Structure 1
């Protein structure tokens, strides 16, 4: 992409993110680096897809944000702006765009090598073309698929939560109803919104792709031209790929991402920046046997290790009568629920945790799920296109030869 266009466009993108509070400071820095990497590509397509995804995703986030603010809770307990989404962090930026960035740089390198080969009157090292030909570059398919998937997922999450019907857990055999915002919860509105997001990206791609034509075939670096049916097949395949990416994200989230509900309000608690939501561990008193359903006494005498300090300076001490283990830490329940303690945790009068796990294993957070979905669907789309075209997936590697 020409510098005279990329530079002001990147600055405008950064300024909009700053003025709209769409990204954190580190998120803005990550977005700027990503934009620069996309601008290195000689085609306009990768940079345009990044901009369209950012603008469309931001717009979807702000749709009825006052309503969405009351549908879920922040991990801190307050209602968030935009249905659980505050400014996006650098981790979220990379989760959505890192795969596309790598593929973009790889394809830029391939195009540069082809151009140099043409200028030196030598054969291209990967037998490729400078325009996008039928049975052409698989890397282009991967780039478009990445943004189609993440756009579909963003639209599905931000607009699907507004559905009047309750979401259904996609990983449940009976598709049981779950609270709004539950990982793996889907609605028809959400699926329709995901389809819309995918269509926006694919339509943008068709407008900016430098398709090889009958005229370009006779030019240096020209390739096999596209006909109408072949373009229609590309559009349909990429659109379906984007929608399937949104579904895959729901499946991964429903299985491997823990959904936590606030017991008092019944709302899903969402972690800051897509991170995990902490849940208090139940109080377990060694050597104390109780009947099922009987509550434990938070003030009972137990022994536990208490870590004070940070990192290598941490010192083990013996906690008192109200210390209990919670994850990797040990806490004093008396201090936790002391009304005079401003850092106390909210709970019921019987000191039961006010949060409970609704679905999912605690293996991934939201950013992990997004990255795995984008990575998996991008390479899946390239593999399917390679099979359909009879082109080896090894052609995406620098110097790879189609077989």
Structure 2
């Protein structure tokens, strides 16, 4: 992309992110690096998709922002809401596309040099039918992350309660639950995918009849082939939002505040910490079982009623010992709970293996590679052609 366009556009991107508080300072720095990685590509497409995704995502974030903030809680105790995105969140959505964009830029420049030396082995410089798999991966990345972003930001406003996609009964769950889906969210995800695919069709340098037979030209596209590409990428983007919900529902724990019934969100997409007692409450009240075991052991050893009393750290202790204050903040054994010692937070669903950023990156990477694999099979183009050493016979 020409620097005369990329530099002002990047500056405007930074200004908007700063003025709208869409990104943290670290997020702005990561966004600038991402913009540079996209701007060095000879085509306008990667940089345009980055800008379109950013604008669509931030616009969706600010739709009924106060209403959405009241539907969840932040881990710090305040109202929920997305808040400024940090560098990890930026890279989770765009790192895969940045790598693919740099790889394809290298391929195009290598082809241009080969074209000057040996025109017959150069390959096409435009986007040909049955051509570059990396282009499919770039578009698929942004179609999926845009679908996921709009689905999350707008789906939470659905009038109907979300249903857990990983539940066999599709049980209803609180708004903001990882893996919770609604028809509104799916429709919003489809919209996000359509936005990205539409922008792609406008800025892709398709090979045409005019470029066919010329140096750097390639096989032209028919109307039917374009329709196939549009439909395939659009549905793939929607599928990406569904895959993200499945991954989130399985491998990302959703923590619910018992008092309000709302989901607690980790700021910056990180995990929401749950105390050991609260986690054991979710897995069969293990703490109660351990206490019962201690009492039983004391009775078996014949220590009698005094031993039973000693198993409770908050009971009247042995003579000469002081009774700890269960509500004292300095007490390291204090448990965040109601007055009746029930946990104030419980795990609604999911295994605590990944945080939100891990899920987003895993989805974006997997769906991008998956789209290239499908295109490789459909076009009968070797998948290893995405690497610089395998590009010669790809087109």
Distance across 1 between alignment mates of 2:366 and 2:313: 46
Residue 362 (1) aligns with residue 352 (2): yes
Pairwise mapping of residues 117-266 of structure 1 onto structure 2 (< 5 A)? 117-121=114-118, 123-124=120-121, 128-266=123-261
Distance across 2 between alignment mates of 1:116 and 1:348: 70
On the 8 A contact 2:256/2:348 being kept in 1, the answer is: yes
Distance across 2 between alignment mates of 1:106 and 1:3: 19
Residue 88 (1) aligns with residue 88 (2): no
Bigger-Rg structure (1/2): 2
On the 8 A contact 1:298/1:351 being kept in 2, the answer is: no
Tell me the secondary structure at the aligned position of residue 328 of structure 2: helix
Alpha-carbon distance, 1:121 to partner: 3.5
Distance across 1 between alignment mates of 2:153 and 2:335: 29
Pairwise mapping of residues 318-329 of structure 1 onto structure 2 (< 5 A)? none
Alpha-carbon distance, 1:288 to partner: 2.4
Q: Which residue of 2 aligns with 1:351?
A: 341
Q: Which residue of 1 aligns with 2:300?
A: none
TM-score, scaled relative to structure 2: 0.87
Tell me the secondary structure at the aligned position of residue 399 of structure 1: helix
On the 8 A contact 2:119/2:215 being kept in 1, the answer is: no
| Structure 2: tracts of 5 or more residues without a match | 278-286, 297-310
1:289-341 deviations in whole A, cap 9, x for unaligned? 48xxxxx9563699xxxxxxxxxxxxxxxxx986xxxxxxxxx9653388xx9
Q: Which residue of 1 aligns with 2:282?
A: none
Alpha-carbon distance, 1:281 to partner: 1.5
Alpha-carbon distance, 1:217 to partner: 1.0
Residue 299 (1) aligns with residue 314 (2): yes
Cα distance change, pair 234–298 in 1 and its aligned pair in 2 (3 A): farther
Cα distance change, pair 141–286 in 1 and its aligned pair in 2 (3 A): same
Alpha-carbon distance, 1:66 to partner: 1.2
Distance across 2 between alignment mates of 1:301 and 1:11: 67
Alpha-carbon distance, 1:212 to partner: 0.1
Q: Which residue of 2 aligns with 1:399?
A: 389
Distance across 2 between alignment mates of 1:337 and 1:352: 20
On the 8 A contact 1:298/1:334 being kept in 2, the answer is: no
Greater share of helix? 2
Greater share of strand? 1
Q: Which residue of 2 aligns with 1:49?
A: 49
Residue 288 (1) aligns with residue 294 (2): yes
1:7-55 deviations in whole A, cap 9, x for unaligned? 0100110111011000010000000000000000000000000000000
Tell me the secondary structure at the aligned position of residue 348 of structure 2: strand
Distance across 1 between alignment mates of 2:13 and 2:20: 11
Distance across 2 between alignment mates of 1:179 and 1:169: 9
Tell me the secondary structure at the aligned position of residue 99 of structure 2: helix
Q: Which residue of 2 aligns with 1:307?
A: none
TM-score, scaled relative to structure 1: 0.86
Distance across 2 between alignment mates of 1:99 and 1:29: 17
Pairwise mapping of residues 2-151 of structure 1 onto structure 2 (< 5 A)? 2-80=2-80, 84-121=81-118, 123-124=120-121, 128-151=123-146
On the 8 A contact 1:149/1:245 being kept in 2, the answer is: yes
Distance across 2 between alignment mates of 1:15 and 1:301: 63
